[in-house]
Amino acid sequence: MKFPRLLAGLGLAVLTGIAGTACTTHAGAAAQVGSSTIETSTVRGIVDRGFEAVESVPAEQAARSLDRAELQRRTITTLVQLKVLETEAKRLGITLSGQDIDAYYQAYSVLRFGSVEAFETRAAAAGFAQEDVGVIVRAGALESAIGDKVAPSTLASPAEARAQYDGIVAQVGNLPLTFEVARPYLQRFLASDQRSARIQPLLEEAAIREHISVNPRFGEWDPKQFAVVAAPGTIATTSAPEPALDLSLQS
């Protein structure tokens, strides 16, 4: 699992050769993933709250010239990716409780950004309100659980996890997670590239099974980038989702 940007990748490797081009009715929908509809109103709500969130952070921390069309594309990309992850998790018999999600939220925030507050502040600066950051967390937790299913032994060593933990403490001070609580998350985070290599083929197959279609108003689905990109004659203004948030504590 790898999270190099916020709501513009969610750890999914570039998936090639997926998603068809059949016609899909988009009345009231921003996108369609199989039988699941991503409502335009849902996207609008996330984007509107995102612009409000930007106003809550200092100007020097906010996303540079935040663009509504770009944020719309990034949001739809994220929601589509989440649907693919949910589909594959269901196929593998994976379920996550609210407690599982909450634990992942804290671990991801603390071990990647130093604290939950820091993570949420960075998300707000990139244009995502606190109530919508859960989409990132759920996607990450699902991807991690899928990795545990298909590559349970693909983990960094306890010694590597210890070194990473100590390095984070050296940067930000004492953490609310003990090493023993943080260790299993760190072992997975540090082996993200290897785990992603095992997960990617499954997600490719899931995306093939679930036809992905995007309302032309917002752009078009690019299977090579596994993202919504600008298309001629749409409200989009740039060619692809832009990186929004780099990890500050990743070694």
Please state the pTM of the whole predicted model. 0.80
Residue 154 maps to a domain? yes
Compute CA 153 distance to the chain's CA centroid, rounded to the nearest angstrom: 24
Residue 9 maps to a domain? no
Residue 73 maps to a domain? yes
Query: Across all residues in the chain, what is the average pLDDT?
Result: 82
Residue 24 maps to a domain? no
Please tell me whether residue 1 adopts helix, strand or coil conformation.
coil
- The whole-number pLDDT of residue 13 equals 30
Contact 198, 150 (CB under 8 A): yes
Domain count within the chain: 1
Residue 236 maps to a domain? no
Burial 98-133 (b: 16+ CB within 10 A, else e): eeeeebbbbbbbbbbbbebebbbbbbbbbbbbeebb
- The whole-number pLDDT of residue 200 equals 86
Residue 92 maps to a domain? yes
Range scoring the smallest mean pLDDT among 17-26, 44-53, 101-110, 227-236? 17-26
Contact 198, 147 (CB under 8 A): yes
Which has the closest alpha carbon to 219: 48, 99, 43, 89?
43
Domain hosting 109: range is 29-229
Residue 145 CA to residue 122 CA, distance in Å, equals 25
Amino acid at the residue 237: T
- The whole-number pLDDT of residue 92 equals 96
Mean pLDDT computed over 235-246: 42
From the number of C-beta atoms within 10 Å of its C-beta (0-12, 13-18, 19+), residue 8 rates as: buried
Residue 146 maps to a domain? yes
Residue 1 CA to residue 186 CA, distance in Å, equals 11
From the number of C-beta atoms within 10 Å of its C-beta (0-12, 13-18, 19+), residue 166 rates as: exposed
Domain harbouring 211, CATH code: 1.10.4030
pLDDT higher at 11 or 146? 146
- The whole-number pLDDT of residue 151 equals 95
pLDDT higher at 182 or 249? 182
Residue 126 maps to a domain? yes
